[in-house]
Homo-oligomer: A and B are copies of this chain.
Protein backbone atom coordinates (compact mmCIF):
# COMPACT_ATOMS: atom_id res chain seq x y z
CA UNK A 1 0.00 0.00 0.00
CA UNK A 2 1.77 3.08 -1.22
CA UNK A 3 0.00 6.18 0.02
CA UNK A 4 -0.51 8.78 -2.63
CA UNK A 5 -0.15 12.17 -1.08
CA UNK A 6 -0.48 15.71 -2.33
CA UNK A 7 -1.31 16.04 -5.99
CA UNK A 8 0.90 18.68 -7.59
CA UNK A 9 -2.03 21.09 -7.26
CA UNK A 10 -1.45 21.10 -3.51
CA UNK A 11 1.94 22.64 -3.98
CA UNK A 12 0.65 25.44 -6.14
CA UNK A 13 -1.42 28.44 -5.13
CA UNK A 14 -4.71 27.61 -3.47
CA UNK A 15 -7.86 29.68 -3.03
CA UNK A 16 -8.55 30.44 0.63
CA UNK A 17 -12.11 30.58 1.91
CA UNK A 18 -12.44 34.28 1.08
CA UNK A 19 -11.06 33.70 -2.38
CA UNK A 20 -7.56 35.09 -1.66
CA UNK A 21 -4.50 33.30 -2.95
CA UNK A 22 -2.24 31.77 -0.42
CA UNK A 23 0.85 29.54 -0.57
CA UNK A 24 -0.09 25.89 -0.33
CA UNK A 25 2.80 24.89 1.89
CA UNK A 26 3.45 25.95 5.44
CA UNK A 27 5.93 24.02 7.60
CA UNK A 28 3.05 22.15 9.29
CA UNK A 29 1.53 20.59 6.20
CA UNK A 30 5.01 19.64 5.04
CA UNK A 31 5.57 18.00 8.41
CA UNK A 32 2.41 15.94 7.98
CA UNK A 33 3.63 14.67 4.64
CA UNK A 34 7.11 13.92 5.97
CA UNK A 35 5.89 11.97 8.98
CA UNK A 36 3.58 9.88 6.80
CA UNK A 37 6.41 8.99 4.44
CA UNK A 38 8.86 8.39 7.30
CA UNK A 39 6.39 5.91 8.80
CA UNK A 40 5.85 4.17 5.49
CA UNK A 41 9.49 3.75 4.46
CA UNK A 42 11.39 4.40 7.66
CA UNK A 43 13.34 7.60 8.34
CA UNK A 44 16.61 6.26 6.96
CA UNK A 45 14.80 4.63 4.06
CA UNK A 46 13.30 7.96 2.97
CA UNK A 47 15.29 10.29 0.71
CA UNK A 48 14.67 14.01 0.33
CA UNK A 49 13.89 13.26 -3.30
CA UNK A 50 11.07 10.89 -2.34
CA UNK A 51 9.86 13.36 0.24
CA UNK A 52 9.72 16.11 -2.37
CA UNK A 53 7.83 13.89 -4.80
CA UNK A 54 5.23 12.99 -2.20
CA UNK A 55 4.85 16.64 -1.18
CA UNK A 56 4.46 17.71 -4.77
CA UNK A 57 7.31 20.24 -4.64
CA UNK A 58 10.97 20.10 -5.58
CA UNK A 59 13.69 18.91 -3.27
CA UNK A 60 15.23 22.33 -2.90
CA UNK A 61 11.90 23.90 -1.97
CA UNK A 62 11.83 21.76 1.14
CA UNK A 63 14.93 23.55 2.38
CA UNK A 64 13.02 26.82 2.24
CA UNK A 65 10.70 25.49 4.99
CA UNK A 66 13.01 23.42 7.16
CA UNK A 67 16.74 23.24 7.83
CA UNK A 68 16.97 19.65 6.63
CA UNK A 69 15.82 16.09 7.00
CA UNK A 70 16.85 15.73 10.62
CA UNK A 71 15.06 18.95 11.61
CA UNK A 72 11.82 17.46 10.28
CA UNK A 73 12.40 14.42 12.44
CA UNK A 74 13.13 16.50 15.55
CA UNK A 75 9.95 18.56 15.31
CA UNK A 76 7.89 15.42 14.72
CA UNK A 77 9.38 13.56 17.68
CA UNK A 78 8.94 16.55 20.00
CA UNK A 79 5.27 16.74 19.09
CA UNK A 80 4.74 13.15 20.22
CA UNK A 81 6.82 13.55 23.37
CA UNK A 82 5.11 16.81 24.36
CA UNK A 83 1.73 15.11 24.11
CA UNK A 84 2.86 12.20 26.29
CA UNK A 85 4.41 14.43 28.96
CA UNK A 86 1.27 16.60 29.04
CA UNK A 87 -0.58 13.50 30.26
CA UNK A 88 1.82 13.20 33.21
CA UNK A 89 0.83 16.71 34.34
CA UNK A 90 -2.92 16.11 34.28
CA UNK A 91 -4.70 15.80 37.67
CA UNK A 92 -5.77 12.24 36.88
CA UNK A 93 -2.10 11.26 36.76
CA UNK A 94 -1.05 13.06 39.94
CA UNK A 95 -3.88 12.59 42.48
CA UNK A 96 -5.63 9.60 43.97
CA UNK A 97 -4.61 5.95 44.51
CA UNK A 98 -1.75 4.70 42.32
CA UNK A 99 -3.94 2.08 40.62
CA UNK A 100 -6.39 4.78 39.53
CA UNK A 101 -3.56 6.99 38.28
CA UNK A 102 -2.17 4.03 36.35
CA UNK A 103 -5.53 3.28 34.74
CA UNK A 104 -5.81 6.97 33.85
CA UNK A 105 -2.34 7.13 32.27
CA UNK A 106 -3.01 3.97 30.25
CA UNK A 107 -6.31 5.38 28.98
CA UNK A 108 -4.81 8.76 28.14
CA UNK A 109 -1.72 7.27 26.51
CA UNK A 110 -3.95 5.33 24.15
CA UNK A 111 -5.93 8.52 23.46
CA UNK A 112 -2.68 10.30 22.60
CA UNK A 113 -1.84 7.40 20.31
CA UNK A 114 -5.21 7.94 18.63
CA UNK A 115 -4.87 11.71 18.33
CA UNK A 116 -1.20 11.86 17.33
CA UNK A 117 -0.81 8.44 15.75
CA UNK A 118 1.76 9.24 13.00
CA UNK A 119 3.96 11.20 15.40
CA UNK A 120 3.87 8.58 18.16
CA UNK A 121 4.45 5.82 15.62
CA UNK A 122 7.56 7.59 14.41
CA UNK A 123 8.76 8.01 18.00
CA UNK A 124 8.33 4.32 18.72
CA UNK A 125 10.60 3.40 15.82
CA UNK A 126 13.52 5.65 16.63
CA UNK A 127 16.79 3.72 16.94
CA UNK A 128 19.26 6.34 18.21
CA UNK A 129 21.38 6.83 15.09
CA UNK A 130 21.66 10.62 15.44
CA UNK A 131 21.78 13.17 18.29
CA UNK A 132 18.16 14.03 17.53
CA UNK A 133 17.14 10.42 17.95
CA UNK A 134 19.20 9.96 21.11
CA UNK A 135 17.55 13.00 22.70
CA UNK A 136 14.12 11.62 21.85
CA UNK A 137 15.01 8.22 23.32
CA UNK A 138 16.12 9.88 26.55
CA UNK A 139 12.84 11.80 26.87
CA UNK A 140 10.97 8.58 26.17
CA UNK A 141 12.83 6.83 28.95
CA UNK A 142 11.78 9.63 31.32
CA UNK A 143 8.15 8.92 30.48
CA UNK A 144 8.74 5.22 31.10
CA UNK A 145 10.18 6.00 34.53
CA UNK A 146 7.07 8.02 35.42
CA UNK A 147 4.83 5.06 34.56
CA UNK A 148 7.09 2.53 36.26
CA UNK A 149 6.70 4.43 39.53
CA UNK A 150 2.93 4.24 39.27
CA UNK A 151 3.06 0.49 38.64
CA UNK A 152 5.43 -0.01 41.59
CA UNK A 153 3.14 1.94 43.92
CA UNK A 154 0.04 0.10 42.74
CA UNK A 155 1.89 -3.14 43.44
CA UNK A 156 2.83 -1.93 46.95
CA UNK A 157 -0.84 -1.17 47.55
CA UNK A 158 -1.66 -4.74 46.49
CA UNK A 159 -3.84 -3.46 43.66
CA UNK A 160 -2.21 -5.38 40.80
CA UNK A 161 -3.89 -8.66 39.93
CA UNK A 162 -0.82 -10.33 38.46
CA UNK A 163 2.02 -11.24 40.80
CA UNK A 164 4.66 -9.69 38.57
CA UNK A 165 7.78 -7.64 39.10
CA UNK A 166 6.60 -4.01 38.63
CA UNK A 167 9.40 -3.19 36.17
CA UNK A 168 8.50 -6.24 34.08
CA UNK A 169 4.80 -5.41 34.26
CA UNK A 170 5.52 -1.86 33.07
CA UNK A 171 7.47 -3.10 30.08
CA UNK A 172 4.88 -5.67 29.11
CA UNK A 173 1.92 -3.31 29.52
CA UNK A 174 3.47 -0.46 27.59
CA UNK A 175 4.88 -2.87 25.07
CA UNK A 176 1.29 -3.88 24.43
CA UNK A 177 0.12 -0.27 24.25
CA UNK A 178 2.91 0.77 21.90
CA UNK A 179 2.23 -2.18 19.61
CA UNK A 180 -1.20 -0.68 18.91
CA UNK A 181 0.51 1.84 16.62
CA UNK A 182 1.34 -1.00 14.21
CA UNK A 183 -2.26 -1.70 13.22
CA UNK A 184 -4.70 0.85 14.69
CA UNK A 185 -6.55 3.23 12.36
CA UNK A 186 -8.26 6.24 14.02
CA UNK A 187 -11.89 6.62 13.04
CA UNK A 188 -12.23 2.94 12.14
CA UNK A 189 -14.63 0.35 13.52
CA UNK A 190 -12.80 0.06 16.82
CA UNK A 191 -13.26 3.18 18.97
CA UNK A 192 -10.54 4.56 21.23
CA UNK A 193 -12.68 3.87 24.25
CA UNK A 194 -13.24 0.23 23.32
CA UNK A 195 -9.54 -0.15 22.68
CA UNK A 196 -8.44 1.47 25.94
CA UNK A 197 -11.03 -0.47 27.93
CA UNK A 198 -9.86 -3.67 26.25
CA UNK A 199 -6.26 -3.08 27.22
CA UNK A 200 -7.09 -2.17 30.82
CA UNK A 201 -9.40 -5.15 30.99
CA UNK A 202 -6.69 -7.48 29.69
CA UNK A 203 -3.84 -6.34 31.90
CA UNK A 204 -5.55 -4.95 35.01
CA UNK A 205 -8.70 -7.06 35.00
CA UNK A 206 -11.14 -4.17 34.93
CA UNK A 207 -13.76 -3.51 32.30
CA UNK A 208 -14.44 0.19 32.58
CA UNK A 209 -12.67 3.42 33.36
CA UNK A 210 -14.45 5.35 36.12
CA UNK A 211 -15.52 8.75 34.86
Q: Mark A181-196, 1 if CB is under 8 A from B, else 0.
A: 0110000001000010
Q: Is A21 an interface residue (CB 8 A)?
A: no
Are the CB atoms of B180 and A176 closer together than 8 Å?
no
Are the CB atoms of B45 and A198 closer together than 8 Å?
no
Size of the chain A interface, CB-CB below 8 angstroms:
35
Contacting residues, chain B, for A174 (C-beta < 8 A): 179
* A–B Cβ pairs within 8 angstroms, 30 of them: A41-B44, A41-B129, A42-B44, A44-B44, A45-B129, A125-B125, A161-B205, A162-B198, A163-B207, A168-B195, A168-B198, A169-B198, A169-B202, A171-B179, A171-B180, A172-B176, A172-B179, A172-B198, A172-B199, A173-B176, A174-B179, A175-B175, A175-B178, A175-B179, A175-B180, A175-B182, A176-B176, A179-B179, A202-B202, A203-B203
